[in-house]
Structure 1
């Protein structure tokens, strides 16, 4: 997790072969799994978001799966430390009245 914006942009371009100015959000997880950085181009510059979990680890695909494309809901779950691959759905509310 030592890389800054420049290093993460280079990694997304060289390793993932992605256009970092496409509007996509790129997620990078630390080796221990408790740290995550999100990189996003907002049209004027790059934004870098960094989060460290006090407990637990961020869920992550195995290296064999390669890059993962997430929906905005899955990305929100990832940011909250929820396993976006196996979310637990709640039951629908009871009918009122």
Structure 2
């Protein structure tokens, strides 16, 4: 599978991010706002103004990877962050990527099978 490992540290950027930024612009944000090293192997998550877009930036050992997701409906859950960044676990990141609020997940019944 492509993507960050399960033991990677996950940081959420505070506030909203200009989604026009690419790898270079986001690495510059990582170096200034949370004062982290972009090539540390950590995952950095950024959310757009409307809340329906997120980008994940991480270093895979050979180069930077940038994942981008846009929800058709709804918004990604986002905590209020006072000090610049918030930390998530790998499980919380997986839930965030699916648009599930990890703070109060609501599990739905399994979909019915159509023959």
TM superposition score category, shorter chain reference: 0.7 to 0.9
User: Equivalent residue for 1:94?
Assistant: none
One of 31, 43, 61 as aligned partner of 1:13: 31
Give the distance between the partners of 1:59 and 1:17, measured in 2 at CA: 24
Aligned equivalent of 1:41, options 59, 70, 79: 59
Partner residue, 2:47: 29
- Structure-2 residue corresponding to 1:73: 91
Structure 1 residue 89, shift from structure 2 partner: 6.4
- In terms of mean alpha carbon deviation, does 33-42 or 60-69 score higher? 60-69
The number of aligned residues is: 90
Structure 1 runs (4+) greater than 4 angstroms displaced = none
TM-score scaled to structure 1, two decimals? 0.86
1:38-94 deviations in Å (ceiling 9; x for gaps): 00100000000000000000011114364111110000000000012222468xxxx
Give the number of the structure with larger relative contact order, counting CA–CA contacts within 8 Å between residues 6 or more apart: 2
The answer for unaligned runs of 5 or more in structure 2 is 1-18, 109-115
Question: 1:67 and 1:86 mapped to 2: Cα distance?
Answer: 20
Distance (Å, rounded) in 2 between the aligned partners of 1:12 and 1:39: 10
Match for residue 3 of structure 2? none
Structure 1 stretches of 5 or more lacking a match?
A: 91-97
